[in-house]
Amino acid sequence: MLQLRTISKHFPGVKALDNVSMSVNAGEIHALCGENGAGKSTLMNVLTGNLQPDTGQILIHDQPVQITGPAQATELGIAIVYQQLSLVDSLTVAENIYANRQPKNRFGFIQSKQLNEQTLRLLEQLALTELRPQTRVADLSPGQKQMVEIAKALSQNPSILLLDEPTASLTERETATLFSLVRQLRAQGKAIVYISHRLTEIFTLADRVSVLKDGKYQGTEAINDVTPAWLISRMVGREISTEKSESVATSEVLLRVKNLSGSRFQSVSFQLHRGEILGLAGLVGAGRTEIARAIFGIDPHSSGTIQLNGQPVQIDHPSDAVQLGIGYLPEERKRLGLFLDQSVAQNIVTANPPSKGPWFDGRQVKTVAESFRQQLGIRTPSVNERVGNLSGGNQQKTMLARWLLANPDVLIVDEPTHGVDVGGKAEIYVLLRQLAAQGKGIILISSELPELLALSDRILVIRHGEISGELRSADATEERIMALATD
């Protein structure tokens, strides 16, 4: 159904795609794997007309096509679910799904009742019955927003569906719903390109897998003929170790939270020790992120106390938290963590800008940023590059560099490997362990249970805004965590 022939695409200082050729069959789930920066998102943008290839040819049903923009991609039967959502928060679910395609009367006015009924039928067909057409997208959880994005793509009845990290924000139930949908589409003869860094998903869903590395095509294999180790080696060219390391936690209490209550959580109490990685587990929407936002001063808390180094502290704003030595790496990096129009260097120094006396030191910014670029392996042609042009994993490393420069005593990391490839994950794991070894206290929020088990010294399980249990590293298993996380 889809063929790519010698597709190349250059950006200043970077060859994002280098003579990539591959094909996707009708009735196939075709996985596309590679490290962040390997060229996967660039290839998707070429297929949706957001980018034009420098050389090469695209064929659909053996016919050459030139995809000049997203509208033409839709006409050709191509739809995409982006890793970073393209929804408008101020619009309803229905208005987002049928943006620019709303039913209208003969005078050109939108027929709201018909729009909502049409949306309701689609949501029921997709088994997304918890979503209501009239609900504002701003009021949805990240997982629900992702399901709206998927519904938006499927509403176009595409013959070719591109899925870029579609489960990153989904609950287990939502993921199961998505898998069922994808298999139905395969049975209907659709061609599906599935991008994910979660190898278990690749081996659960895919029929074939293709690999990109540094913009170059590494080959395609039937999923039954390969192993996870083979796939990782083709992606990164080295062995990846995610084995659990020895704990370096001390008895010294760095952060003490007592009876903290706020939006979607109540009476939360825990201690974080120096050198400890404390995991927060739970289903999406359980209240983990809300607890982190309250500690960092983004959201107010209605009651309870926070102590740092044995002293009560008042945190009314993130600037208070930063001054006290608390850092926060948010789940939604593009909306809450980065200044996308600014450079890599400017983003790195945001929390702790270099200065000469009372003056901002512009020259030192580049030197500092370049040091972190090399230390963390941030793939960018220059630290002056706009951070919005970087891949997801390199954006995440840029945010980590910001907090390494700020040097907080307590670092809260919310889904730190969201959308990050296996090689990048391993590098982030090493960084977090190094910070713990330096005596920092780390609160790790993650929906990936293997990640929590590999990194955490203790795991607190959050259910319905309350701590439902605590597990020491030696006693924790995926089954015990899920038993505490679910009703």
Interval 340-355: pLDDT, tens: 899 999 999 988 888 7
Instruction: Find out if CATH 3.40.50.300 is the number for domain 2-236.
Output: yes
pLDDT of residue 423: 75
Give the pLDDT score at 100. 84
Q: How confident is the model at residue 376 (pLDDT cuts 50, 70, 90)?
A: confident
261, 243 Cβ separation under 8 angstroms: no
Q: What three-state secondary structure class fits 476?
A: coil
pLDDT at 191 over 90: yes
Residues whose CB is less than 8 angstroms from the CB of residue 359 and which lie 6 or more positions away in sequence, other chains included: none
253-485 maps to which CATH number?
A: 3.40.50.300
Angle at 309 between CA 306 and CA 310, to 5 degrees: 70
Tokens of residue 410, six digits: 């307590």
CA distances from 219 to 30, 59, 456 (A): 12, 19, 36
- Residue 242: predicted pLDDT: 58
What whole-number distance in Å separates Cα of residue 413 and Cα of residue 374? 22
Distance in angstroms (rounded) separating the CA atoms of residues 167 and 313: 38
Residue 82 has pLDDT above 70, yes or no: yes
pLDDT tens-digit readout, 235-278: 876 555 556 778 999 999 999 999 999 988 999 999 999 999 99
pLDDT the model gives residue 309: 95
Ordered alpha helix ranges (H), 242-303: 288-296
- Per-residue confidence (pLDDT) for residue 238, from 0 to 100: 57
Closest CA to 253 of 97, 51, 441, 55: 441
Mean pLDDT of all residues in 405-424: 86
Closest by CA to 467, choosing from 267, 318, 295, is 267
Confidence category of residue 456, pLDDT binned at 50, 70, 90: very high
pLDDT recorded at residue 240: 56
Question: For the residues 462-466, what does the mean pLDDT come to?
Answer: 94
Q: Over range 421-431, report the average pLDDT.
A: 82
Q: In what order do the strands lie in the sheet with 216-222?
A: 78-81, 160-164, 191-195, 28-33, 208-213, 216-222
- Whether 69 has a pLDDT exceeding 80, the answer reads yes
CATH 3.40.50.300 domain range(s) in the chain: 2-236, 253-485
DSSP state of 192: E
- Output the pLDDT for position 449: 85
84 CB-contact burial (10 Å; exposed 0-12 / middle 13-18 / buried 19+): middle
What value does the mean pLDDT of the chain take?
90
The least confident of 219-228, 241-250, 374-383, 406-415 is: 241-250
Q: In the prediction, which pLDDT does 44 show? A: 94
Give φ, ψ of 101 to 5 degrees: -135, 25
> Contact at 8 Å (CB) between 118 and 307?
no
Query: Cα–Cα distance between 327 and 308 in angstroms, integer?
Result: 13
Residue 187 scores a pLDDT above 80: yes
What distance in Å separates the CA atoms of residue 224 and residue 31, rounded to the nearest whole number?
Answer: 13
Residue 19 pLDDT > 80: yes
Closest by CA to 418, choosing from 456, 391, 379, is: 391
Q: What pLDDT does 113 receive? A: 93
Tell me the average pLDDT across 442-465. Answer: 93
Q: What is the mean pLDDT of residues 41-63?
A: 95
Residue 249 per-residue DSSP state:
-
**Encoded amino acid at 197, one letter:** H
pTM of the full structure: 0.68
CA-closest candidate to residue 196, choices 227, 233, 161, 165: 165
Question: Quick check: helix, strand or coil at residue 227?
Answer: coil
84 pLDDT tier (thresholds 50, 70, 90): low
| Residue 116 predicted with pLDDT over 90 | yes
Point out the least confidently predicted range of 56-65, 162-171, 225-234: 162-171
181 pLDDT above the threshold of 60? yes
What whole-number distance in Å separates Cα of residue 235 and Cα of residue 212? Answer: 7
Q: Is the pLDDT of residue 145 over 90?
A: no
Looking at residue 377, what is its pLDDT? 84
Number of H helices, E strands in the chain: 16, 22
Query: 391: pLDDT confidence band, cut at 50, 70 and 90?
Result: confident
